């Protein structure tokens, strides 16, 4: 059974798909070093860093943009 015209009536339902399983390296934040520049939030392609700079490992694909764009080297990419 599909909906009429395959319309999807649950916005944001992609959250069922836990893309965290794609990851081989995981970003780990050292809160001590964080200067609240928010680069990790702004540049995350997977909307996986929240306002408190907590990383949602359910979806983080481990691209490493957050670590690469962190001006204070507060994020380290650690092998899973």
Partner 1 sequence: MTREVMTANKAVAEAARLAKPQVIPVYPITPQTTISEYLAQYVADKKIDANYVKVESEHSAISAAVGASSAGVRVFTATSSQGLMLMHEILFAAAGMRTPFVLADANRAISAPLNIWNDQQDSIAQRDAGWLQIYVENAQEALDTTLMAYKVSENSDVLLPSMVCLDGFILTHTVEPVEIPDQETVDKFLPPYVPEHAYLDPKDPMSIGNLADPDYYLEARHDMQIAMENSIEVIEKTCNEFAEIFGRKYGLIDAYKTEDAEIIFVAMGSICSTIRVIVNQLREQGEKVGLLKIRAYRPFPVEAITEVVKNCEKLAIVDKNISFGIGGALYADMKAKIDKETYGFIAGLGGRDITPEAILEMYEKTKNPVKEVTWIGLKEE
Partner 2 sequence: MDIPDKNLLSPGHRGCAGCGASIAVKLALNALGENTVAISATGCLEVMTTPYPETAWEVPFIHVAFENSGAVASGVEAALRIQGKNDVNVVAFGGDGGTVDIGLQSLSGAMERGHNLTYICYDNEAYMNTGIQRSGATPFGATTTTSPQGINSFGEDKPKKDMPMIMAAHGIPYVATASVAYPEDFVNKVKKAASINGASYIHLQQPCTTGWGFDASRTIEMGRLAVETGSWILYEIENGKFNITFTPEERKPVIKYLSQQKRFRHLQEEEITKIQKYVDAQCEELGL
Least spacing, CB of residue 18 vs partner 2, in Å: 7
**Sign for the pseudo-dihedral over CA of 39, 28, 79, 56:** negative
User: What's the min distance (Å) between Cβ of 32 and partner 2?
Assistant: 21
Beta bridge partners of 77: 27
> Which partner from the list partner 2, partner 1, none does 1 bind, CB cut-off 5 to 8 Å by kind?
partner 1
Establish if 71 lies at the interface with partner 1 (CB under 8 A): no
Binding status of residue 16 toward partner 1 by CB under 8 A: no
- Find, among 51, 73, 49, 70, the residue nearest to 61 by Cα: 49
Query: Taking CB under 8 A as the criterion, which residues in 8-27 touch partner 2?
Result: 8, 10-19, 22-23
Nearest to 60 by CA among 49, 73, 75: 49
């Amino acid at each position: 059974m599909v909906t009429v015209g395959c319309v999807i009536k649950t916005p944001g339902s992609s959250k069922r798909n836990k893309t965290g399983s794609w990851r081989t390296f995981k970003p780990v934040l050292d809160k001590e070093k964080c200067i609240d520049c928010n680069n990790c939030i702004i540049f995350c392609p997977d909307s996986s860093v929240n306002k408190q700079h907590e990383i949602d490992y359910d979806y983080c694909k481990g691209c490493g943009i957050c670590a690469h764009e962190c001006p204070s080297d507060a994020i380290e990419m650690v092998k899973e």
